[in-house]
Structure 1
Amino acid sequence: MAVTSTTKIILLLLVAGVFFSCTSKKNIVYLQADGNQETATEIANYEPLLQPDDALMIVISAENPEVAAPYNMKSVFFQGNSEIGVGQERLQSYLIDKEGHVDFPMLGKIKLAGLTRTGAIQKIKMLLTDHIKDPIVNLRILNFKVSVLGEVSKPGVQNIQSDRISLLEALSYAGDLTIYGKRNTILIIREKEGVKTIQKVDITKRDFINSPYYYLSQNDVVYVEPNKTKVNASVIGPNITVGISALSLIITIIALTIR
C-alpha cells in the first residue's frame, strides 16, 4: 500500500504532536515578561510582622553591663556532657501571648504583635530611655517557619534562620516544583490577626515580584496544586498513560514505513 506525500506529512505532524503538544512554555517558565517589556521594581525593606506565638530573643545591652542586666532574662545552664563536665547555656526566649504581649523584666507587659522587628526594637528602646542611657536592643524571631506542600520535590516545614524568605526561595528549599505542579495557581494560606486568607499566586508572570506575597510571613503555608496531567494519571494510572503514548508512536512509525 503506497503512502502519499500528504499522508506522510500528516503522520509526521502527529509524531511531532506526541512530543510537543502536551505542554506549553507558558505553563512552565517562571517570571515571564509580556513581549519585550521589562518589569520595573523597587527594592523594599520588607520585614514580617510579629504575631502571637512568635518566640523572640531579646537582649538589652548598655555601656555599663550592670545597668542592663536587670532587663535581661536570667540564663539557665544545663549539663551538656556529664563525662567531661561541660556546661552549656540555654537560650531564653519571650513568647508573644494570644493578646500580642510579652512579659518583659522590669518593664512588665509590652505589646509587640503587629509590629515589625524594627518597630519592636524602637518601642523597647523608647521604654528603656528613662532607665538606661543609649540602650542597645537585639531582637530576632527564633521560630520563623513556613510549610511547603503539594507538587514539590521535598515537601515539609522549613525553619528559617533569617527574618524573611521569598516564595521562590521557599520553593527552592523544597527542591522546586515537579513537572506536574501548576505554576500559575500556587496557593498561600496566611493568618493575620486571627483571620486566615487564601491567595492564588502566579509565578509565571514577572510582575509577581511586586506582589505582597513575594515575601512569605511567619507560619505561611504554600500549596502547589497538581496539573491536569497528574490528576488524569491518578485516575487511569501513569503506566497506562505512558503505554498509550508509546503505542501511538509505534503505530505512526509503522504507518510511515508501509508501502
Structure 2
Amino acid sequence: MKRPQIVKVLQVVLCALLLSSCVSRKEIVYFQGLEEAGERLAQNQNKNLTIKPNDLLTINVSAPEQEAAMPFNLPVVGMPQGGGLDVSLTVQGRQQMQTYLVANDGTIEFPVLGDIVVEGLRTKELSAKLKKEISEYVQDPIVNVRLVNFQVSVLGEVNRPGTFDIRDEYLSLPKALGLAGDLSIYGERKNVLVMREENGKKIHEYLDLTDPEILDSPFYYLQQNDVVYVEPNGAQRQSASYNRNAGVYISIASVLISLAVLLTR
C-alpha cells in the first residue's frame, strides 16, 4: 500500500473515531426543559414517606415541667467504656435513646399510653397525635419523632455505590445520586431504576433523569429502604464484550502503521 493510501485510511479511521465520540446534550444533561416545568419542584413534597412495620423510631417528650414528662420517655441506654449496658439516665460514656420498633400490626407500645397505631402516619402526624394524648397528663408537652432506619442503597454505574443512612426525611433521587458521587460517564441516565416495598409488595419504576416530568413521579422522593440501580449505558455494555487486551492490540497496530508509513517513504 502506497503512502497516500495509508494516509487516507488513517484519516478515515480518525474521522470515524471523532464522530463516534461525540455525545449530544440530550444524552447527558439532567432535567432538560426544566424551565417549562414551572414551580413543580417547589410544590412537589415527599408526602408518601410514612411509618411502616419494622421501622425504628425515637420519640422524645419534653415539657416546662420536665419531671412530669419523664414517664413518657424510655430510659437512655448508656454504653460505658468498660462495655455492657447501663439503662440509668446518668452514665459515663456514650448515651443513646432507645428506639421503638413498629410491630407487624403497625403499633408501638408507648409508656403510659399503651399501644399506639403509627403505621401510615408521617412523623409530624404522629408527633401531633402523641402531643394531643399526652396533654391530658402534661401541660404544654413537646414531642419530637424521628425515623432512624431511613436508609437507601444506590448501586450500579455510580462513583461511590453503597447504602446510606439518611437524617433528612426529604431525600430526592438526585440527592441520593449525589451521595453516591453521581453517575459515572457510563451510567444510563434515561433508565434509572427505583425499587421499593409498599404494602408488602415489591414495586418499581424507571426514571429518565433528562426529563423534567420526573418531578411528578412518586418515586422522585425516596422512602426508607429504597434501592436505586443505575444500569450501564450501551457503550459500557458493548465494551464488556471486548477483549480486555484490545487497548494493547490497538497500540501495537498504531506502531505498525507508523512504521509502515516510515518504510514507504
CA RMSD of aligned residues (A): 3.1
Structure 2 unaligned regions, length at least 5: 84-90
In structure 2, the residue corresponding to 1:165 is in which secondary structure? Answer: coil
**Residue number among 91, 99, 102 corresponding to 2:97 in the alignment:** 91
In structure 1, the residue corresponding to 2:241 is in which secondary structure? Answer: helix
Verify the 8 A CA contact 1:233 1:241 in the aligned structure 2. no
Distance 1:169 1:242 in 2: 39
> Could you tell me how far 1:251 is from its partner in structure 2?
6.7
The TM-score, its normalising length taken from structure 1, stands at 0.83
Aligned to 1:191: 197
% identical equivalent positions: 38
Aligned to 2:137: 131
Residue 69 in 1 paired to residue 60 in 2? no
Q: Which amino acid aligns with 1:52?
A: P
Change (3 A) 1:152 1:243: farther
**Residue number among 125, 128, 136 corresponding to 1:122 in the alignment:** 128
Aligned to 2:33: 33
Verify the 8 A CA contact 2:27 2:189 in the aligned structure 1. yes
Q: Which amino acid aligns with 2:76?
A: S
Distance 2:257 2:243 in 1: 22
In structure 1, the residue corresponding to 2:204 is in which secondary structure? Answer: strand
The TM-score, its normalising length taken from structure 2, stands at 0.81
Q: Between Structure 1 and Structure 2, how many residues are aligned?
A: 251
5 Å-filtered alignment, 1:8-27, equals 15-22=14-21, 24-25=23-24, 26-27=26-27
> Could you tell me how far 1:171 is from its partner in structure 2?
1.0
Residue 46 in 1 paired to residue 52 in 2? no
Change (3 A) 1:99 1:237: farther
Change (3 A) 1:62 1:251: same
Change (3 A) 1:2 1:246: closer
> Could you tell me how far 1:211 is from its partner in structure 2?
2.4
Aligned to 1:227: 233
Distance 1:167 1:243 in 2: 41
Change (3 A) 1:124 1:209: same
Distance 2:222 2:163 in 1: 13
Verify the 8 A CA contact 2:74 2:97 in the aligned structure 1. no
- Render the CA deviation track for 1:59-92: whole Å, top value 9, x for unaligned: 111221122111111223331368xx93432321
In structure 1, the residue corresponding to 2:81 is in which secondary structure? Answer: strand
In structure 1, the residue corresponding to 2:240 is in which secondary structure? Answer: helix
**Residue number among 150, 156, 176 corresponding to 1:150 in the alignment:** 156
Change (3 A) 1:194 1:132: same
Verify the 8 A CA contact 2:57 2:146 in the aligned structure 1. yes
Distance 1:247 1:127 in 2: 79
Structure 1 unaligned regions, length at least 5: none
In structure 2, the residue corresponding to 1:162 is in which secondary structure? Answer: coil
5 Å-filtered alignment, 1:142-221, equals 142-221=148-227
In structure 1, the residue corresponding to 2:37 is in which secondary structure? Answer: coil
Aligned to 2:88: none
Change (3 A) 1:173 1:120: same
5 Å-filtered alignment, 1:231-246, equals 231-240=237-246, 243=249
Distance 2:193 2:92 in 1: 47
